[in-house]
Structure 1
Amino acid sequence: MKIKQLISRIMLLGAGSLTLAACNDFLDELPDNRTELDTPDKINRLLVSAYPSRSFTRMCEIASDNCDDMGANNPNTSLLLEHNSYWMDMNEAENDSNKNTWQAYYSAIAAANTALEAIEKQGTPKELLPAKAEALLCRAYSHFCLTMLYCLPYHPEKSGEYLGVPYMEAPETTLNPVYHRDNLKEVYEKIDRDIEEALPLVSDANYAVPKYHFNRSAAYAFATRFNLYYLKWEKVVEYASEVLGSAPSTVMRDWAAVKQLAWDGSVRTLDYISVGHSFNLLMIPMVTGNGSLFNAWSNSGARFTHNYRVAKRETYRAKRPMGGPWDRWKDNCIEKVYQHPPFIWQDNDVNKIYMPKWPNQWEVTDPVTGVGIGRSTMVAFTTNETVLSRAEAYVHLKEYDKAVADLNAWIGSFYLVGQNGIESLTRERIAEVYGDPSSDRYIAEYTALEPTSRKPLHPHGFTVEAGEQEHLIQTTLFCRRIETIADGLRWGDIKRYGIVIDRFDDSAYNDDNTTGFTVAATLGEKDLRRALQLPQEVITAGLEANPRNENRPDHPFCQ
């Protein structure tokens, strides 16, 4: 098969259709001996391209309540970030643009589908079953990420009426195909089908460096996250247990060891993505500016960021269920609370607080001018997130002691338990923190005037009972929020639990007396903007746009 023929087979769209992806670029770089997918080696090498080169992280993180607006006069911003933060249509041309993100996921899906077709044409021999598993998981993962961005949260009864995304199950063979959006129920069923078919076939022996592929632990961690969103609590427990083993506390991230490294952002972010750590399950290299955006040693994107106000009232510095000093600052709070304190930077235009997660792996393409491409590596799945997913599932199953045990496994990774008033959790302590207003440990419910980490819950498609179950869910959501800052996953929790977002303007914020923050905009629990809008190019080409409250007040999500 000639290279042009291969391009025509795996390209998703022509210029006049949806512009889901243009695969020419990545295919033009393939050596000639890979144009014929007739050997296991060629198929396995093609699967490197089945992982997305962009991520949902930026759009989901900026849209969430993890970021405040430092004010219109802050110069460290862009239209893309502004529109993202205020849940507007995002059509600006940037590296991490809406269009590029959409294209990256569908390009990855195209590579996965091409590999699956090649495997089928060879009769699906036993030696290619691990490659089939990887392709199925890659296809499911990219579609799932697209639903996180462009779809409403799953609902067992209503999802058949919610727009999904086009679920691509074969390489494209025509120049201008016509696509439609499956409903969300159909998309989730297809993701579930692909995962379930893949799991028994996964083999770590198929990879030289398993952490850059859907190895067995990464596959089960993905199945855990998906089933959490799918509201399949028993499956969450089953699949997470495959990852965590019998002693979860022994496989959590070792933040204490990171603290012993040089106090340098580059050193610590590179350690964060190390394949040598058992708690890192899947790494995905990508083209992104997240290495400068989500750290505290760059002014990039500093207008919309995780800052002092958010940290003091809702995250790192906030009153927390496991105790310890709060509200104060670095020497008498942060340093005494965390196994590894977050990085902090504050000056006139920058106020950022982040853990070292995203390395800035800048690639210079022109040595003379210094022009280059922003690159980084995403840690897509970890044991820490997986144990918190299982804890949440245990709460829904009312296995509260097991939930508390999982929460404590995570807490030991992140906090200095046993020091400065920080304690492991018990059911009695959680009841006091969320149920006893007379206690000095009590965390009051959030209001816009007095923000806290305890946001009112409006769960979508499931229920949370008042009392102990709600208290444990609040605890779990707090831990999940702390764990996943700069990962984009808080957005998923916000959608699943119908959490209202107030976008605070902190241009006049005074940290000493916690004043000067005002609500600039609010995203309500029934706001259809919880499904971000598709790229304009895709809509113009004919794919149905996501509805908005003003034109669909009768939408089932709003009822």
Structure 2
Amino acid sequence: VSGGHSREILNDEMYRWLEGYQSGTSQDTPYRVWSGCYSAIAAANQALEVIAEVADPQKFAAQKGEALVCRAFNHFILVNIFSEHYNPATANTQLGIPYNTEAEKVAVKYYKRHTVAEVYELIEKDLTEGMALIDDNVYAVPKYHFTKATAHAFAARYYLYVGNWDKALEHANAALGTNVSSISNKLLPLDGPVFMAPVSSADYEVRYRRIDQPDILLLVSCTSSWGRDHVSSSLRYSMVKDQSDLYTTVNVTGSSSLYYRRWSVSASGAYSLHKYDDLFKYSSPGATTGTSYTVGALFTIEDVLFMRAEAYVMKEKINEALSDINLFLSRRVIAGISVDLAAIKKFYDGKPKYPDLKPFYEIQEEDQMSMLKCIVDWRRIEFMQEGLRWFDIKRFHLEVVHTFPYTGGDPITLTADDPRRALQIPMEAQAYGIEPNPR
């Protein structure tokens, strides 16, 4: 993870939990997350201001709804990356992020951070108001917009994070529907001919998040070098062998055969999943330089299915949760093997590899813990390198151990209560008065 290029320096600093990364402003840095989300929020606020000033605001009710949900979602991402995870016992005192609700009129404006509780309250307000206004009929390409289903998926995640299981189930069901066959047909068909046919890694990347894949609820394009550099020797966009082994070792079903077929390993020992296609835009005709883009999914049917299963577990509806888990496994495990509670308990209970989860709410029964471990494990496998794992690490207070198998050195452990789990506020924001996170 070392080298002289700025990307290698950034990678090394973040991997070792150092704070120098906060000064980086290039692609794929925390600063770009911060500035990108606030740029999206500014666009939403501008749209809301214009809609409020037109002669007939009701004519643009659907656009107002999407702008409100977009504003809520971007604040949700920011507070979950740059703040501690929501905990009702501490949310009123924990530093959140600035929640912007007005279009900016001045070149320089100073903001103060709301508390985590205030941010979550404002997110819920925007989300609830906006979701009621969304109309799918106004979208030419729905999968690049917040549709009704996508807004419900976002609401399910929101209520899961705050521990409101009834609301989480309500919105997950609204996003998924209740017809099992219909849900199964919407899952990404890794067991189907599009993915099972002999294709190159490059073709697999194109197909994985293609807009016609049935599981996609919301796609987003962004500037990123991931699609271009994920097999590079910098290791920045790759994973270690222990993570790749999740796809080849025996899992809870008793099988080691999964429909995840596209990964590679570089000469430096970097394992890479082929999920992201590089979309390169040249700066001008005839130019040799430009900007890399990639496309990713912010919400999928699989994601919502896991959220529903988790809410079922917390409602002590174990059989319903098992049904959702097995529905997912039917499209991911060769031979269609299913699992029951006994198999899950045997595989996860008492294993150091699967430590007990420690959310802010109480897990009442041993069976709940076993089931949650299973859901969190498969969510990790399904969304490897897609960004959801970090939220589970924070939600469930999981330790993170970084090793140095290629360069040597002692492992580094980020403990469950380490304040660095809330990424530091970028230096550019601190320069304009944003209070840094405590260390």
Name 2:185's counterpart in structure 1: 250
Aligned partners of 1:305 and 1:289: how far apart in 2?
12
Q: CA RMSD in A?
A: 2.2
Over 3 Å counting, the alpha-carbon distance change for 1:267 and 1:304 in structure 2 is closer
2:33 alignment partner, one of 62, 86, 101: 101
Deviation at 1:274, TM superposition (A): 1.9
Cα-to-partner distance string for 1:34-82 (whole Å, 9 max, x where unaligned) = xxxxxxxxxxxxxxxxxxxxxxxxxxxxxxxxxxxxx647999611112
Q: Which has the larger radius of gyration?
A: 1
Give the AA of the match of 1:353.
S
Match of 2:344 among 430, 454, 459: 430
Match of 1:341 among 261, 274, 278: 261
**Residues 1:300 and 1:121: Cα distance change in structure 2 (over 3 Å):** farther
The amino acid of 1:377's aligned partner reads V
Q: Which residue in the other structure is 2:203 paired with?
A: 267
SS of equivalent to 1:256:
coil
Deviations 1:234-271 (A, max 9, x none): 11111111121121323211112232345223322222
Query: What is the letter of the counterpart of residue 325 of structure 2?
Result: L
Q: Which amino acid aligns with 2:186?
A: V
Shift of 1:170: 0.9
Which of 27, 51, 57 is 1:119 aligned to?
Answer: 51
The residue aligned with 2:435 is 544
Secondary structure of 2:401's counterpart equals strand
Cα deviation per residue 1:90-143 (whole Å; 9 max; x = unaligned)? 122422222222111111101100111111112663331110111001101111
For the residues of structure 2 that align with 1:300 and 1:222, how far apart are their CA atoms? Answer: 36
| Aligned positions of 1:413-492 closer than 5 A | 413-418=331-336, 423-435=337-349, 445-446=351-352, 452=353, 454-459=354-359, 461-465=360-364, 467-492=366-391
Match of 1:128 in 2: 60
**Structure 2: distance between partners of 1:307 and 1:148:** 25
Q: Which runs of 5+ in 1 are unaligned?
A: 1-70, 326-336, 436-443, 447-451, 509-516, 549-559
Question: In the aligned structure 2, how far is the partner of 1:74 from the partner of 1:400?
Answer: 52
Please give the secondary structure, in 1, of the residue aligned with 2:76.
helix
| Structure 2 counterpart SS, 1:370 | coil
1:352 corresponds to 2:271: yes
Q: Distance in 2 between matches of 1:293 and 1:223?
A: 34
1:277-296 aligned at under 5 Å gives the runs 277-294=213-230
Partner of 2:143: 211
- 3-state SS in 1 of match to 2:24: coil
**Gap regions ≥5 residues in structure 2:** none
Preserved contact between residue 322 and residue 424 of structure 1 (Cα < 8 Å): yes
The residue matched to 1:170 in structure 2 has which SS? coil
Aligned to 1:4: none
In 2, are the aligned partners of 1:261 and 1:267 still within 8 Å (CA)?
no
Q: Give me the whole-angstrom Cα distance separating, in 2, the residues matched to 1:240 and 1:232.
A: 12
- The letter for the 2-side match of 1:173 is K
CA contact (8 A) 2:227 2:277 kept: yes
CA shift at 1:319, angstroms? 3.8
User: Is the Cα–Cα contact under 8 Å of residues 76 and 303 in structure 1 kept in the other structure?
Assistant: no
Q: Distance in 1 between matches of 2:314 and 2:410?
A: 33
Distance, in Å, in 1 between the alignment partners of 2:385 and 2:70 is 22
The alpha-carbon distance between structure 1 residues 74 and 175, as it changes in their structure 2 partners (threshold 3 A), is closer
1:193 is aligned to 125
TM-score normalised to structure 2 length: 0.93
Q: Is the 8 A contact 2:2 2:234 kept in 1?
A: no
**Shift of residue 199, structure 1, vs aligned partner:** 1.5
More off after superposition, 163-172 vs 92-101: 92-101
2:17 paired residue among 58, 69, 87: 87
TM-score, normalized by length of structure 1? 0.74
Q: In the alignment, residue 146 of structure 1 is paired with which amino acid?
A: L
Separation in 1, partners of 2:56, 2:122:
20
Structure 1 residues 51-62: aligned runs within 5 Å: none
Distance of aligned partners of 1:318 and 1:532 in 2 relative to their CA distance in 1, 3 Å threshold: farther
Distance 1:463 1:194, change over 3 A: same
TM-aligned CA deviation for residue 226 of structure 1: 1.8
C-alpha distance in 2 between matches for 1:268 and 1:311:
17
> Match of 2:264, as an amino acid?
I
CA contact (8 A) 1:113 1:170 kept: yes
**How much has 1:536 moved relative to structure 2?**
0.8
Q: 1:158 to 1:76 in 2, by over 3 A?
A: closer
- Deviates most, 193-202 or 255-264: 255-264
Higher relative contact order, structure no. (Cα contacts within 8 Å, ≥ 6 residues apart): 1
Q: What amino acid is the match of 1:455?
A: P
Deviations 1:146-190 (A, max 9, x none): 112101000012111111110000101233322100000000011
- CA distance in 2: counterparts of 1:467 and 1:124, whole angstroms: 56
1:394 paired to 2:312: yes
Task: Report the secondary structure of 2:394's partner residue.
Answer: helix
The answer as to 2:306 corresponding to 1:408 is no
- Identity within the alignment, %: 29
Q: Which residue of 2 aligns with 1:78?
A: 8
Aligned length: 433
Within the alignment, does 1:306 sit opposite 2:306 as a pair? no
Matches of 2:365 and 2:262, distance apart in 1? 33
Equivalent of 2:94 in 162, 178, 183:
162
Question: What amino acid sits opposite 1:456 in the alignment?
Answer: D
Distance 1:212 1:393, change over 3 A: same
* Cα distance in 2, alignment partners of residues 259 and 381 from structure 1: 20
Cα contact 2:201–2:262 (8 A) shared by 1 = no
